[in-house]
């Protein structure tokens, strides 16, 4: 889930330091007046040799721009940027220009980062096209822009995202199969204009094409926990027959609403958020599929930026393949139980690493310490 008031607890923090080492070798001079046989080399005076100082790695400044703050998933994304920056040993400072705002606000924030002299910007874009002009401005200044979570259409940016089309299709197909191809499904969406929502809906529609007897009620949550809660509560109170649900990571809201309404749960597709996993783990009668959508794409975006800044080979577009954990199977339920952590907030993404792109541990991430 990526909503305005959701995901994980807040209050994560961090610091880091780097040091250059200079190694100096020493030697002493010696002389002798004792005659030496001709067959024995005469020792000359020793020469002091000073080793060249070890060069410190070049340091970079990374900027963060997000249009949503104050919810677990987005806070986790920001922490992953800071922690990966620190552990890379290549970042001297992270400048966070995130706030709750519109796409135009985000354009202003990115311009502020450009003026601050950052070397790269990791951005979770509010809109797939609105940021294109400021991305071009950044490129003109030699600044690398990496879009994470959602994509942008600008060819000047690098993209690292979850495959949201696959996410939407996996979610919908599981629900449709649970219903044997018949019934009414509530499709809770994200925010209009967000590429993540657009792609998920495309995946949903691709699955729907195979199930002509499925009816759909579609509602935008704007990635807001409060709005998602309001929608599901109203739907349940209205008496609308809902046979299945797909959510953008608001599983905790679904479990709470059905429990309060004292109604039997319906097959629900959720994300890997901790509260989403809590349903099948802790609540009798819940059946769900959890599809991965890691918040730590932010930290992975740092690695992409550093690769580009150092002239290393780096694909322009990186899509992560989501996995699905089906609570109706023994293996799937075991995976859900293994990922669930009752110490974490409900909107904390439980997928805490991305191979080849992040190097931090779960403890590092929770510490949220950056340079």
* Helix, strand, coil distribution of the chain in percent, nearest 5: 35, 15, 50
90 touches 21 (CB < 8 A) = no
pLDDT value for 294: 97
| CA R_g for the chain | 27
H/E run at residue 362: helix 362-367
pLDDT digits (tens, 9 = 90+) for 94-150: 999 999 889 999 999 999 999 999 999 999 999 999 999 999 999 999 999 999 999
pLDDT value for 54 = 61
Q: Which pLDDT does position 53 carry in this prediction?
A: 56
pTM: 0.81
Q: Would 60-162+294-320+351-367 and 164-291 be classified into the same CATH topology?
A: yes
Which residues fall within 8 angstroms of residue 367, CB to CB, at 6 or more apart?
A: 12, 13, 14, 83
Domain ranges across the chain: 60-162+294-320+351-367, 164-291
Listed residue (159, 14, 8) closest to 82, CA to CA: 14
* Segments in the chain below pLDDT 70: 1-56
Domain 164-291 belongs to what topology?
A: Rossmann fold (3.40.50)
pLDDT for 34 equals 34
The pLDDT score that the predictor gives to residue 36 is 34
CATH 3.40.50.2300 fits 60-162+294-320+351-367, yes or no: yes
């Amino acid at each position: 889930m990526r909503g305005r008031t959701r995901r994980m607890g807040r209050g994560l923090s961090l610091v880091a330091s780097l040091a250059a080492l200079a190694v100096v070798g020493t030697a002493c001079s010696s002389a002798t007046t004792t005659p030496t046989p001709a067959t024995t080399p005469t020792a000359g005076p020793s020469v002091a040799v000073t080793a060249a100082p070890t060069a410190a790695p070049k340091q970079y400044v990374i900027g963060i721009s997000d249009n949503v703050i104050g919810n677990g998933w987005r806070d986790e994304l920001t922490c992953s940027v800071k922690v990966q920056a620190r552990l890379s040993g290549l970042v001297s400072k992270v400048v966070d220009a995130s706030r709750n705002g519109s796409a135009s606000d985000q354009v202003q924030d990115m311009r502020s980062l450009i003026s601050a002299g950052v070397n790269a910007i990791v951005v979770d874009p509010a809109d797939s096209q609105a940021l294109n002009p400021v991305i071009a401005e950044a490129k003109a200044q030699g600044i690398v822009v990496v879009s994470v979570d959602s994509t942008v259409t600008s060819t000047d940016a690098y993209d690292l995202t979850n495959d949201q089309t696959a996410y939407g299709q996996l979610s919908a197909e599981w629900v449709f199969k649970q219903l044997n191809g018949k019934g009414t499904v509530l499709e809770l969406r994200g925010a209009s204009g967000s590429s993540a929502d657009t792609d998920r809906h495309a995946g949903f529609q691709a699955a729907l094409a195979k199930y002509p007897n499925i009816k759909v009620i579609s509602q935008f949550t704007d990635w807001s926990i409060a709005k998602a809660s309001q929608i599901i509560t109203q739907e349940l109170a209205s008496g609308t027959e809902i046979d299945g649900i797909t959510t953008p990571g608001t599983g905790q809201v679904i479990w709470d609403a059905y429990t309060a309404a004292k109604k039997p749960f319906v097959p629900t597709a959720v994300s890997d958020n901790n509260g989403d996993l809590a349903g099948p783990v802790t609540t009798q009668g819940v059946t769900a599929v959890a599809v991965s959508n890691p918040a730590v794409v932010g930290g992975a975006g740092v690695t992409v930026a550093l690769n580009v800044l150092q002239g290393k080979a780096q694909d322009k577009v990186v899509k992560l393949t989501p996995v699905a954990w089906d609570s109706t199977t023994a293996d799937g339920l075991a995976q859900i139980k293994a990922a669930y952590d009752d110490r974490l907030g409900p909107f904390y993404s439980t997928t805490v690493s991305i191979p080849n792109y992040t190097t931090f541990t779960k403890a590092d991430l929770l510490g949220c310490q950056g340079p």
